[in-house]
Amino acid sequence: MDAPLSELLEFLRYPSISTDPAYAGSVAECAQWLYKKFLSMGLSATVHPTAGHPVVVARNAHRAGLRTVLIYGHYDVQPVDPLDLWTTPPFEPRIENEIIFARGATDNKGQILSHIQGVAEMLRREGELPVNLIFLVEGEEEIGSRNLGKFLQDNREALHCDVIAVSDTGMIGPGIPTLTYGLRGIACLEIKVTGPAMDLHSGIYGGAVANPITVLARMLATLHDENGHVAVDGFYDEVNSLEPWEKEVWAKLPMNDAELIKLTGVPELTGEAEFTALERIWSRPTAELNGIGGGYQGEGSKTVIPREAFAKLSFRLVPDQNPQTILNRVKTHFEKVAPRGVRVEITLGHSGAPYLMNPGSSHGMAARRALQTVFGSDVALIREGGAIPIVNTFREMLGAETLLLGLALPDCRAHSPNENFPVENYRAGIRLNQALLRELAL
Amino acid sequence: MDAPLSELLEFLRYPSISTDPAYAGSVAECAQWLYKKFLSMGLSATVHPTAGHPVVVARNAHRAGLRTVLIYGHYDVQPVDPLDLWTTPPFEPRIENEIIFARGATDNKGQILSHIQGVAEMLRREGELPVNLIFLVEGEEEIGSRNLGKFLQDNREALHCDVIAVSDTGMIGPGIPTLTYGLRGIACLEIKVTGPAMDLHSGIYGGAVANPITVLARMLATLHDENGHVAVDGFYDEVNSLEPWEKEVWAKLPMNDAELIKLTGVPELTGEAEFTALERIWSRPTAELNGIGGGYQGEGSKTVIPREAFAKLSFRLVPDQNPQTILNRVKTHFEKVAPRGVRVEITLGHSGAPYLMNPGSSHGMAARRALQTVFGSDVALIREGGAIPIVNTFREMLGAETLLLGLALPDCRAHSPNENFPVENYRAGIRLNQALLRELAL
């Protein structure tokens, strides 16, 4: 195993789960590992504490007259449950058939480290870079980059740049270079329904008191109409239609319903019938239930009317929906449908706006040339359904567009058990980094 | 502390949770404790193994010409979660202000042991009983008395009796002697909705696949109409109306809406508007959600479309609803409302029929006299909302009616955290047992 690969396995061993306070120590250790890696490459580096998890910044010695490129990524990962569905432990990376399995392999440790290794190799071979470079690697992407906005605000001058590059998205298929020019936004919300002061015997009291689970289910059932549209007043008011060229280009992409069924394992695809599956994922907003709980969940039965029930919701948003506006409309919706006999508590969570850039801009064209050079085939222009809220903050705070050069494959299982990343993609990322820096330098 | 009380605390220390296989050893030890108690009183006793937890039977030497009374109870208890809501550990009984706190204190260890102690005292004092007595104490009441039907069938001759007495119900208020002449039945069912083969990233796939939690919530929301009626076809077909005397007697009972609100802690009572709260609990069937789970339930957020979601349901039934018929109608209902894009699996659980006896029968009148003697005030005639499915089996297998002489108070928190039983009620149970045996002997 060569150094770049064994270093990736080292990086993957940190259980840097940002959402769970129990893992705060591992997140901090992972940041330290990155810091040392940057120093060893000959870059200057700093671990910046924040109100949450630290941000790691590294840079070469900047020279006047060169373009400044900021490469962004994150070293934090999603939780791992359900743990029993992992073939091997999520933080004990293994390589099987040239595929790396571990939590974070694709999202985002494998991808950001390929850029770091690209720069390391270039510096080792050529002694310098063709651009002024800034690496910005944060530890809170999976929890909405809570403290990065303030960090950018406080370090606006030091982080000034011409363009930003991020590999945290996907390739439309193996070997097909892909530029993502749009992302959905996100807005999260939690709802809790409380009824009796304690779990009640469902025989002794059933019929006279509201059941919090029943109330919650009925409230959640009002989220969609029978055609799969979100039934919150005003939800679609700011949704833009697709450009004709987008529908045309997407229809030709090597991704179809059969492939999506294979990737997800669902019996069939569902959703808004007037859009193709890709259009639904990339250009239409959604309301999803990410978690629900209440009452007895153990073996057998326990005949209680539970004290409370809760659900965790997230909304995927598209241009020009505003996360705060949407959250307020959803809150109003639930307050309106909340029945008597219970207490309903709604907590707004993290959010990020949708993103759209012009793939025909000069930076966009540079990225497309670099992709074409490394992969040797036509570049697919796509949007993605996931959120990288920080790209909007970059635009606002640093005034720069973000190039999304994804290296993940559709079956990389980001956020799922058995997350993985092909060794080949990791190596392609190293070459892509070098081609990109050269193209952007021109 | 006297012997009857310290023995109750001993009995309560066994975590005899029948639904959870992890506690099978404790259930068996608890049966052994009972067995030894019976022997020490001078009764003959046997611990009968079953396919599940054992049945303990004890008897005096039967004499020709005497009435035979069977006293039934159970030594198994409900699970204890949520454990953090208990003030002190559920299996470390404590007495505070003359109230015993422990899982099983009221349901049913305190109540059945008061009968056992009543007999022990009578035997010690008088050397014999005025009736032929059989104690039948099982370990599976909380899981639907799964194996007791077969046991009764196999031991029909040995268990032949004239009447059955059970203290596993409640008093309508402190100091008010109560005969329960009706019980609701129960039928349990679990529903599982499975979508993708694994938890999916809700950004990458959201919009194209059905969300199992959303589907489950929408299916569960069809269980009731907007007036709180169960919306399953045919659900009310076999429901009998109340007799006018029942409505009249119940309206005068010392139990009102304000008291029910205080007991449950709900903001207000809800349910079918055309019935009083007591009528809803005692004479109307219900559909309750006892538990629900799916997706991410930890701290923070995890933006997944979960692989599956489940709900645990139970239905409270009244004369003349048949549990199997109801379960089949509910299954048909869910199969009808199950949408495409997911797999829906429905598992039928335990069940028991509703019960109704005539409180004016000769045994009923004997019970009312015994209650009047011990408590010194008018006997309340009530039904209860909980199920004791075995009373129907007794009627079928042994041809005998069951007298339900409850000693639980409305705030005894059966099935809930901090379950409790007043020492006073335990002692009243001892006296009631003796008065009852004398009245039934006449």
pLDDT digits 0-9 by tens, B334-368: 999 999 999 999 999 989 899 999 999 999 999 99
Q: What is the pLDDT of residue B144?
A: 83
Q: Tens digits of per-residue pLDDT, A419-431?
A: 999 999 999 999 9
Q: Tens digits of per-residue pLDDT, B262-305?
A: 999 999 999 999 999 999 999 999 999 999 999 999 988 899 99
Mean predicted confidence (pLDDT) in B329-336? 98
Does the pLDDT value for residue A389 go beyond 80? no
Mean predicted confidence (pLDDT) in B294-321? 95
CB contact under 8 A, B203 and A20: no
Q: Tens digits of per-residue pLDDT, A196-207?
A: 999 999 999 999
pLDDT interval class at A220 (50, 70, 90): very high
Mean predicted confidence (pLDDT) in B237-257? 94
Q: Which of A143, A269, A309 sits opposite B292 (nearest CB)?
A: A309
Partners of B266 on chain A (C-beta within 8 Å) are 195-197, 209-210, 341-342
Mean predicted confidence (pLDDT) in B107-133? 98
Judge whether A168 and A111 are in contact, CB under 8 Å: yes
pLDDT interval class at B411 (50, 70, 90): confident
Q: What phi, psi does B179 have (nearest 5°)?
A: -110, 125
Q: What is the pLDDT of residue A83?
A: 93
CB contact under 8 A, B300 and A266: no
Question: Which of B43-52 are b and which e, b meaning 16 or more Cβ less than 10 Å from the residue's Cβ?
Answer: bebebeebeb
Rounded Cα distance, B414 and B103, in Å: 8
Q: Which of A207, A288, A297 sits opposite B305 (nearest CB)?
A: A288
Mean predicted confidence (pLDDT) in A279-308? 96
Does the pLDDT value for residue A168 go beyond 90? yes
Provide, rounded to the nearest whole percent, the portion of chain A with pLDDT above 90. 92
SS3 label, residue B95: strand
CA dihedral B73, B102, B317, A295 (to 10 degrees): -150
Q: Tens digits of per-residue pLDDT, B368-384?
A: 999 999 999 999 999 99
Q: Which of A266, A290, A414 sits opposite B301 (nearest CB)?
A: A290
**Cα A105–Cα A109–Cα A114 angle in degrees, nearest 5:** 105
CB contact under 8 A, A301 and B19: yes
Smallest CA-to-CA distance from A305 within A204, A201, A219 is with A201
Q: Tens digits of per-residue pLDDT, B74-105?
A: 999 999 988 999 999 999 999 999 999 999 99
Does the pLDDT value for residue A308 go beyond 80? yes
Rounded Cα distance, A442 and A440, in Å: 6
Partners of B384 on chain A (C-beta within 8 Å) are 203-204
Mean predicted confidence (pLDDT) in B402-423? 94
Q: How far is A286 from chain B (nearest CA, A)?
A: 6
Mean predicted confidence (pLDDT) in A341-357? 94
Q: Greatest CA span in chain A, whole angstroms?
A: 80
Is A24 in CB contact (< 8 Å) with chain B? no
CB contact under 8 A, A341 and B309: no
Name the closest residue on chain A to residue B220, using Cα atoms. A217
User: Using CB atoms and an 8 Å cut-off, which of residues 309-348 of chain A contact chain B?
Assistant: 309, 311-312, 314, 316, 339-343
Mean predicted confidence (pLDDT) in A365-372? 97
Q: What is the pLDDT of residue B243?
A: 94
Rounded Cα distance, B256 and A267, in Å: 51
Mean predicted confidence (pLDDT) in B176-194? 96
Spell out the residues 6+ positions from residue B46 whose beta carbon is closer than 8 angstroms to its own.
Answer: B35, B56, B57, B58
pLDDT interval class at A357 (50, 70, 90): very high
Partners of B195 on chain A (C-beta within 8 Å) are 266
Q: What is the DSSP string of B302-371?
A: --EE-SEEEEEEEEEE-TT--HHHHHHHHHHHHHHH--TTSEEEEEEEEEE--EE--TTSHHHHHHHHHH
Which of A164-168, A172-176, B10-14, B327-331 is least confident?
A172-176
Does the pLDDT value for residue B387 go beyond 90? no
Q: What is the pLDDT of residue A144?
A: 83
Rounded Cα distance, B241 and A22, in Å: 57
Rounded Cα distance, B281 and A172, in Å: 58
Cis ω before A411 (30° cut-off from 0): no
pLDDT interval class at B71 (50, 70, 90): very high
Residue type, A337: V
Structure tokens, A253: 């992409």
Q: What is the pLDDT of residue B218?
A: 98
Does the pLDDT value for residue A167 go beyond 90? yes
pLDDT interval class at A164 (50, 70, 90): very high
Q: What is the pLDDT of residue B79?
A: 95
Q: What is the pLDDT of residue A376?
A: 96
Mean predicted confidence (pLDDT) in A270-295? 97
Q: What is the pLDDT of residue B59?
A: 98
Mean predicted confidence (pLDDT) in A24-31? 98
Q: For chain A, how big is the Rg over CA atoms in Å?
A: 23
Q: Which long-range contacts (CB under 8 A, 24 or more apart) does B29-32 make?
A: B30/B75, B30/B76, B30/B139, B31/B56, B31/B75, B31/B139
Q: What is the pLDDT of residue A299?
A: 87
Is A106 in CB contact (< 8 Å) with chain B? no
SS3 label, residue B27: helix
pLDDT interval class at B2 (50, 70, 90): very high
Q: Which is it for the CA torsion A108, A113, A119, A122, positive or negative?
A: negative
Smallest CA-to-CA distance from B315 within B200, B399, B191 is with B191
Does the pLDDT value for residue A410 go beyond 90? no
Mean predicted confidence (pLDDT) in B314-336? 97
Q: Tens digits of per-residue pLDDT, B426-437?
A: 999 999 999 999
ipTM surpasses cut 0.95: no
